[in-house]
A and B are shown apart, each in its own frame.
Chain A
């Protein structure tokens, strides 16, 4: 909860660390025996932003987060959190962080209230009434025994525990896991509110849909490497849209020629409808303007262009050949072509 006044034009503190960066990870490598969990991960999370990490199970999301909390020590590379190197960082740093582990294990034989009171004892100062307020929002009964809570309700306890001291940085590993859609929305609202208060949020998920509404930037992680870092808008602009159109006065082969010439159109199939029209079904990625221009000359009878399917494009990134991955894509780099 520290408040450092400095010149926003420089953003550099006296000790050389950048004050406008909440998390600065440089070439992080973590080796577990023969298994290389992190393979040179580099990224920065600006202060006050919401940064998401997406990756399949085992991609290294949890390992990054644990390294930030000094629960595990990287083999090489370094992570700087809120201006402090995470390795052997003292308790003062962790009081400024709220952490939700991916595999949340809570003590069962106590009430939620008592458990939170204990975590309040060892975290940053908690405002009176704030725990109650958070529990109320999430619809969590604090007087029930923890072991009798459902998975979703245990997750809510974990979320309250991470948010209750209003830390400068929230590190949330799969925060929406186990939450019903209504609670997922409430959680995303909490994330946005935290952001508006100036808190930084670093969260992970194995599906982008859970965090795309909240995240400013999304890093896609695979096999211990960052494949890309993009804004959600950038991802969306490259994402795949399914399209279907019906045009009259054109033969399917001619329609195929028009659409097939466009960049980003794949899996194109043109057929003749029973009514004698030409129907095209395809997927479209990339810019939409050339497509609209191309079809403006057609006599369209029907057009359906779906919302971009981020999930599908992320899945393609998961399975893209490893040699295209770059561990140090700058945050503003254009997204890779995901249609190949």
Chain B
């Protein structure tokens, strides 16, 4: 009736198994995204001197349809900060981070459940809330790493590319960049936790990001559509040109806080559901 307890030593256990596993599984992916962001920064930013120099480039931009210029935020690219915002933080970098954040968020719970692996993990000595929390924290760390690298890339090019970006503004914008990405990831996490499918997370995360971008672009077009800015996380983050005029710390904090709330909702959603049905 009793289980014999042998005195043999037991295998040492990793301190944060679920959190740590995310990195052993996906460090290659993280390196890939970092290279992508580096490419975006190092391909776009060195072009700034040739664009700002009153050259033919400015004429080309002036001849673009004004709606397109407003959509791409090219109305600000006369300054180094505006240029870096329009190209890296607001466009290529934003797209890369949105894709990474959405796929990480969607895979963490929804994708793992859909594949059938979450069932076995949850059959072990962990709670669903622990798993959701550990995976959210891992995503947050990865996004902060990519934001920090973006900060460093832009910083490294600040002088060579004559961008003249204020260090504090760059830091604030990088944190904002991370915040808006983490928000996307959290929405994807919640979508995956609610649906139990990867596609549910992808739809939710990319939906929020894309709709946010479109609402920002539409709101830029006319005063009558400006109210759409209120519904756009993209506008919340970048609408006030944080790279040139400074990032609002309260807005940064709000992004991270909202992400935490969404992650908590994802954990609770996962806690209530039947897994893998």
Contacts and interface: CB of A to CB of B under 8 A. Distances in A.
The answer to whether A and B belong to the same complex is: yes
Nearest to A71: B275
Contact of B116 (A105, A131, A197, A199): A105
A114 to B, nearest CB: 8
Interface string A194-214: 000111000000000000000
Contacts of B121: 122
B129 to A, nearest CB: 11
A66 to B, nearest CB: 8
A35 to B, nearest CB: 10
Contacts of A168: 3
14 contacts: A71-B122, A71-B276, A90-B127, A91-B125, A99-B120, A101-B123, A105-B116, A110-B25, A117-B14, A120-B11, A125-B10, A125-B11, A128-B10, A199-B3
Contacts of B10: 125-128
The majority secondary structure among interface residues of chain B is: loop
Given A91-B125, A101-B120, A106-B117, A128 B11 contact: yes
B2 interface: yes
A20 B1 CA distance: 7
Given A127-B8, A198-B3, 14 more contacts: A32-B277, A48-B1, A72-B274, A117-B14, A119-B120, A121-B13, A122-B17, A122-B18, A123-B125, A124-B125, A127-B11, A128-B11, A131-B11, A197-B3
The majority secondary structure among interface residues of chain A is: loop
Nearest to B128: A70
B21 interface: yes
A183 to B, nearest CB: 21
Interface in B18-52: 18, 21, 24-25
Among the interface residues A4, A69, A92, which one has the most CB atoms of the partner chain B within 10 A? A69
Contacts of A72: 274-277
A56 B24 CA distance: 40
B5 A101 contact: no
Contacts of B120: 99, 101, 104-106, 119, 161
B272 to A, nearest CB: 8
A199 B3 CA distance: 6
A222 interface: no
Interface string A50-83: 0000000000000000100111110000000000
Nearest to A123: B124
Interface in A12-32: 19-20, 32
A91 B3 contact: no
A198 B11 contact: no
Contacts of B13: 120-121, 125
A2 B4 CA distance: 9
Interface in B246-277: 274-277
A301 interface: no
Contact of A198 (B2, B21, B117, B119): B2
B240 interface: no
B3 A166 contact: yes
Chain B interface category by residue count: 20 to 34
Contacts of B124: 91, 94-95, 99, 119, 122-123
A305 interface: no
Contacts of A1: 3, 5
A122 B125 contact: yes
B126 A128 contact: no
The 7 closest A-B pairs by CB, nearest first: A105-B116, A121-B17, A95-B125, A125-B10, A72-B274, A91-B125, A99-B123
Contacts of B54: none
A2 B122 CA distance: 21
Contacts of B9: 127-128
Contacts of A124: 125
Contacts of B230: none
A168 B2 CA distance: 8
A126 B6 CA distance: 11
B115 interface: yes
Given A99-B120, A105-B117, A121-B14, A128 B8 contact: yes
Among the interface residues A71, A107, A122, A125, which one has the most CB atoms of the partner chain B within 10 A? A122
A323 interface: no
A116 B132 CA distance: 21
Contacts of A310: none
Contacts of A120: 11, 13
Nearest to B12: A128
A34 interface: no
Among the interface residues B125, B126, B275, which one has the most CB atoms of the partner chain A within 10 A? B125
Given A126-B11, A128-B10, A128-B11, A71 B119 contact: yes
A45 interface: no
Among the interface residues B18, B115, B117, B274, which one has the most CB atoms of the partner chain A within 10 A? B274
A198 B25 CA distance: 37
Nearest to A107: B117
A254 B126 CA distance: 70
Contacts of B14: 117-118, 121
B13 to A, nearest CB: 5
Interface in A109-152: 109-110, 114, 117-131
B177 to A, nearest CB: 30
Interface in B70-117: 115-117
B46 to A, nearest CB: 37
